[in-house]
Amino acid sequence: MAYSTKVIDHYENPRNVGSLPKNDPNVGTGLVGAPECGDVMKLQVKVNPDTGVIDDAKFKTFGCGSAIASSSLATEWLKGKTVDEALAIKNTDIVTELSLPPVKIHCSVLAEDAIKAAISDYKKKQQTTVTAGAEEKARPSA
């Protein structure tokens, strides 16, 4: 199977590898896997609380070159986008950009699922933070 030059570039020079502090209320973490091939992808986003824009994105992926390239590309695309704009990233966009062969399309699906999971985790943390703040204000002072 021939990989595109973009897949090879992202595989050999992955962008944004690493982790963000998962307990940070402004960090959302998505962990997804594809049992059919054994790929596992962790993708994280850090959202600026003042602007709602994704300031940083990191990934760690165990898998083939296409899975690593898909996650690397996704983190590049996420930076500078709002949460809603991030949710608009589709696997077909990744397939097109990387020229993934049909047998590797599941890698792009994994990346889209990881983005959705990370954003979902971030939103859940925001609801918890708001609820905790409201409970704190509702407590009578001693």
Residue among 34, 32, 35, 58 at smallest CA distance from 45: 58
Q: How far apart are CA 50 and CA 18, in angstroms?
A: 24
Q: How many CB atoms lie within 10 A of CB 127?
A: 9
Alpha-carbon distance of 25 to 67, in angstroms, equals 27
Task: State the Cα–Cα distance between residues 23 and 108, nearest whole angstrom.
Answer: 27
64 assigned to active site: no
* Catalytic residue (one of 27, 98, 107, 118): 107
Evaluate whether 126 touches 48 at the Cβ level (below 8 Å): no
Please indicate whether residue 107 is annotated as part of the active site: yes
Catalytic residue among 37, 40, 53, 105: 37
Strands 27-34 and 54-62, by their bridges, are: unpaired
Catalytic residues: 37, 107
